[in-house]
Amino acid sequence: MLAEARAAWLRAAEEFIGNPSSQHRLGQRADAALEEARENCARMLGCGAGEIVWTSGATEANNLALHHAAAQGGELWISAIEHPSVLEAARYHLPKKHRLIPVTRTGVVDLGWVASRIRQERPGMIAVMAANNETGVLQPWREALALCRENEVPFFCDATQWIGRLPAAGLGECDFVSASAHKFGGPKGAGFLKCPLRTTGLLRGGPQEHGRRAGTENVPGVLSMLAAWEAREKRLAQGEMGEKGRLRMEFARKLAEALPGSELPTGGEAHLWNTVCAMMPVTDCQNRWTVKLDKKGFAVSTGSACASGKEKTSHVFAAMGRCDADARRVLRFSSGWETSEDDWDALLQALRAVHQELDPRCD
């Protein structure tokens, strides 16, 4: 957690101990703090405060958006590379009423597919994420939003990977936007959905959030999330991500030189400044890469999702037209705000060393 977020959490836990729904002064004080945070959130997003619903994170926010889409009755079109909290929620809430929008081989949503059929088929909602969590590739959400506006189709953007890492300006124009605090230095267990006031609630049992999300609000979580986001936006306004993007590009370039046979499956697409997704030269040794790198002090991720102990090939790489063998070669490297050029170089050295240990063949 960012220092600002931790301080805000501790302050809120001491100062705002009342339940925001209570009528006494302790409750009203907590409610006032929550409403001020809502105003700040809406200002950064560029929307009305009444459009913000506090949630436990993006998974809940995404489920709320899709539950609402199901209640509206139209067909849902979602990109094939959405996070499982959108994909699986679509399968659950709209089992027979959703379609997948294809992506290019480099992992960008194919808006041509949407443009060629949106006018005739008029879906009830379209969902395109702002940036992909496995590849880091930025998605054309602004263009998708414009297409939706032209055709009067509600647009939903899961901006979990974008908010706090890139300026949020413009996202408030989407009908639905989700985010999660722990992605930008806030606490785990806090997030929000930007959505219309008349959104159909998923959690029932209380009038909170205008009936859109029952349950006592997490006041310290919300205040801490806003403190983190405000601090990030300030640093973003100072242009900090330009240098971070350069370090990322430099690492990606050196990686290709250092590990012959490695590949960058997303090529020259625009990426989040903190994510590099690469296919390692040695096949079927993904776990050995992660274990060996872990021992050297680098926590890296594979491109596959580990569900109940079983490795499943990533739906993202499958959608990009990659075979299982390719998807199993993928490693994802994510930097933080404090990551320096020396840190990236140290990772490169570690990768070289592991490659030598695993080469020529791993069995």
Footprint (CB under 6 A) of ligand PLP, residues 84-113 = 85
Chosen residue from 51, 158, 217, 233 binding ligand PLP by CB under 6 A? 158
Selected range binding ligand PLP among 56-64, 224-232, 264-272, 347-355, rule: CB under 6 A:
56-64
State the first-to-last Cα distance of the chain, in angstroms, to the nearest integer.
40
By C-alpha distance, which of 224, 164, 199 is closest to 53?
A: 199
In angstroms, what is the minimal distance from the CB of 60 to ligand PLP? 7
Q: Can residue 59 be called a binding residue for ligand PLP (CB under 6 A)? A: yes
**Of 67 and 355, CB closest to ligand PLP:** 67
Among candidate residues 41, 306, 323, 362, the one labeled active-site is: 306
Bridge partners for 157 per DSSP: 177
Instruction: Count CA atoms within 13 Å of residue 193 on its CB side.
Output: 29
Residue 196 is classified by DSSP as -
Q: Can residue 266 be called a binding residue for ligand PLP (CB under 6 A)? A: no
41 is catalytic: no
Integer Cα distance of 86 and 97 in angstroms: 14
**Of 179 and 231, CB closest to ligand PLP:** 179
Q: Which residue bears the tokens 């990009």?
A: 320
**β-strands 305-307, 310-312 pairing:** antiparallel
Selected range binding ligand PLP among 57-65, 168-176, 203-211, 281-289, rule: CB under 6 A:
57-65
The footprint of ligand PLP on this chain (CB under 6 A) covers a number of residues equal to 13
Q: Pull the structure tokens for residue 197.
A: 């006031």
**Of 58 and 153, CB closest to ligand PLP:** 58
Examine residue 360 and say whether the peptide bond preceding it is cis (omega within 30 degrees of 0).
yes
Selected range binding ligand PLP among 14-22, 52-60, 195-203, 274-282, rule: CB under 6 A:
52-60
Q: Which residues of 179-209 are buried (b: 16+ CB within 10 A; e: fewer)?
A: bbbbbbbbbeebbbbbbeeebebbbeeeebb
Q: Can residue 83 be called a binding residue for ligand PLP (CB under 6 A)? A: yes
Q: Pull the structure tokens for residue 307.
A: 């569900």
By C-alpha distance, which of 130, 177, 146, 154 is closest to 71?
A: 154
Integer Cα distance of 182 and 218 in angstroms: 14
In angstroms, what is the minimal distance from the CB of 84 to ligand PLP? 8
Q: Can residue 160 be called a binding residue for ligand PLP (CB under 6 A)? A: yes
**Of 58 and 330, CB closest to ligand PLP:** 58
Selected range binding ligand PLP among 53-61, 98-106, 195-203, 304-312, rule: CB under 6 A:
53-61
In angstroms, what is the minimal distance from the CB of 316 to ligand PLP? 11
Q: Can residue 180 be called a binding residue for ligand PLP (CB under 6 A)? A: yes
Calculate ∠ Cα 262-263-266, nearest 5°.
155
Integer Cα distance of 329 and 2 in angstroms: 33
Residue 43 C-alpha from the chain's centroid: 20
**Of 262 and 314, CB closest to ligand PLP:** 314
In angstroms, what is the minimal distance from the CB of 129 to ligand PLP? 5
Bridge partners for 184 per DSSP: none
Chosen residue from 78, 129, 157, 247 binding ligand PLP by CB under 6 A? 129
What residues line the site for ligand PLP (CB under 6 A)? 57-59, 83, 85, 129, 133, 158, 160-161, 180, 182, 191
Residues annotated as catalytic are 306
